[in-house]
Amino acid sequence: MPTNGELPVYPMTAIDEITYRTPDALFNGQATINVIQSCVPNIKDAWAIPSIDLDTILIAIRIASYGHDMEFGTTCPKCQNTSERTVDLRTMLDSLRSPDYTASIKYNDLEIFFRPLSYKNLNDNSQLQFEQQKLLQVIPDSTISDADKMTALTRAFQQLTEITVRSLSISITMIRTPQALVSEQPFIEEFLKNCPRDLFNQIRDHVLKLREISELQPLTITCDSCNNQYQQALTLDMTSFFAPAS
């Protein structure tokens, strides 16, 4: 980290842009990693960045590469009128908030502390989730017997639960008990599997809330044609986000 606490951000090179168009690299997250490390050379291992910083970094790279105006298409949900809009990414950058990770949860004589997922954790999770959801979609149409379908579906649902529990356990940095501080992830995962339901829900809601705070707020759009006001989420979907501004 430079002494002024600010990371220099450089525009994407031609090579970065080519990297970004490689579908496989995009899917496994490697494209994002390469581009971040190329444009923000102070970041040596982009897999380790807190996932809550990801939007900030990507927007900064987009601004450095193509300027602060970004065009996007929108469709009014009421009258289906479509139009092109422009958003000032500097405003988006200013609106990003950082969740308070010093807040803990107290439950009887336990205290639970949290941390953001790394980009690696986040990426692993979404890939596992994607695979299981894909499975859930194809099982009903497959040619196996109904009994086997049932088994396969149950298994896929169990896997999804496991993924959720693992992701939650990684979001917990430690648990203070009257006797000890527990920070080993396998123990925390075990704890989550066996803890009371109300505590589990409290932990899950807390983690979801932290994530929500760090997310980009949706834009409020007024339809040109019928004056309807609606919200549109601005996705940082890589393919469209980094399509060059023409």
Residues contributing to the site for Zn ion (CB under 5 A): 76, 78-79, 81, 223, 225-226, 228
Write down the least CB distance from residue 222 to Zn ion, Å.
9
DSSP letter for 235, please.
-
**Residue (73 or 196) nearer to Zn ion, CB:** 73
Write down the least CB distance from residue 82 to Zn ion, Å.
10
Burial readout 95-122 (b: 16 or more C-beta within 10 A, e: otherwise) = ebeebeeeebbeeeebebbbebbbbbbb
Which one, of 48, 46, 81, 75, lies nearest residue 61 by Cα? 46
SS3 (DSSP) at 133: helix
Write down the least CB distance from residue 232 to Zn ion, Å.
12
Cβ atoms of 121 and 170 closer than 8 Å: yes
Question: One-letter amino acid identity for 186?
Answer: P
**Residue (181 or 226) nearer to Zn ion, CB:** 226
Cβ atoms of 87 and 70 closer than 8 Å: yes
Q: Which tokens sit at 57?
A: 């970094």
**Residue (36 or 223) nearer to Zn ion, CB:** 223
**Residue (137 or 231) nearer to Zn ion, CB:** 231
Write down the least CB distance from residue 220 to Zn ion, Å.
14
Instruction: List all residues 6 or more positions away from 135 whose beta carbon is below 8 Å from its beta carbon.
Output: 152, 156
**Residue (212 or 224) nearer to Zn ion, CB:** 224
Write down the least CB distance from residue 66 to Zn ion, Å.
29
